[in-house]
């Protein structure tokens, strides 16, 4: 395994100064314009894993992606932290697309496949155990159970998102954001688009028949 460069606290501050200087030299108005406000097109709900810098992976500048990250990209209903992000992103920033992104080699997903333990993290990832139980046959036959579970977990979390108060509120308006599922493949650096069972959710009345997804 290739050794990753180590950074000290002082390195972080020095790197910041160098980055800010380069941006200013290239465009003196860059930071003044950035400070005027934000109007991101996307809300990204992803995992807290340090290997997933989504702005870098999508080659996007600051201001385009509104971010929320937690262990294993979970969407717990009535999580006030997440709901606050959703409320602001949907109803104040008017984001056009919500992306829920998991990733291969996810520690949270791997932990959900292991024995239960005592602690906050185990409580947090407990819904992933239900995803596994509901898809046990497929997952046990898959060449990489954990990676496939990461993909199914993305679908489960988007389904949970559709039942949050901010999203239900959006369904009553004409500004409902699109829904997208991603899995980031650490082994290649590529993003895998995950198809969502929207027709099934409409049939089960999880989504209204009028919901249109055009990301």
Q: Which residues are catalytic?
A: 47, 49, 51, 103, 106
Residue 207 three-state SS: coil
Q: What single DSSP character describes residue 88? A: H
Q: Nearest CA to 155 among 208, 209, 194?
A: 194
C-beta separation of 34 from 118 below 8 A: no
Listed in sequence order, the residues at least 6 apart from 99 whose beta carbon sits closer than 8 Å to its beta carbon are: 42, 43, 44, 45, 46, 180, 181, 182
- Note whether 161 and 77 are within 8 A (CB): no
Structure tokens at 30: 């860059």
Q: Report the DSSP beta bridge partners of residue 183.
A: 102, 192
Token pair for 172? 């009553």
Give SS3 for 159. helix
């Amino acid at each position: 395994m290739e050794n990753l460069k180590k950074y000290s606290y002082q390195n972080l501050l020095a790197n910041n100064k160098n980055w800010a200087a380069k941006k200013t030299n290239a465009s003196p108005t860059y930071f003044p314009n950035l400070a005027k406000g934000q109007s991101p097109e996307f809300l990204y709900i992803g995992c807290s894993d340090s290997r997933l810098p989504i702005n870098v992976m999508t080659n996007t500048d600051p201001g385009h992606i509104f971010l929320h990250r937690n262990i294993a990209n979970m969407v717990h209903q009535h999580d006030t932290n997440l709901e606050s992000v959703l409320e602001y992103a949907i109803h104040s920033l008017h984001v056009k697309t919500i992306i829920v992104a998991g990733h291969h080699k996810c520690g949270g997903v791997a932990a959900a496949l292991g024995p239960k333990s005592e602690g906050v993290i185990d409580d947090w990832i407990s819904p992933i155990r239900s995803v596994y139980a509901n898809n046990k046959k497929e997952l046990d036959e898959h060449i990489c159970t954990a990676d496939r579970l990461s993909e199914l977990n993305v679908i489960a979390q988007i389904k949970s998102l559709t039942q949050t108060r901010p999203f239900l509120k959006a369904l009553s308006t004409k500004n409902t954001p699109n829904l997208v599922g991603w899995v980031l493949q650490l082994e290649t650096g590529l993003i895998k688009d995950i198809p969502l069972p929207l027709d099934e959710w409409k049939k089960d009345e999880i989504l209204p028949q009028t919901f249109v997804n055009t990301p």
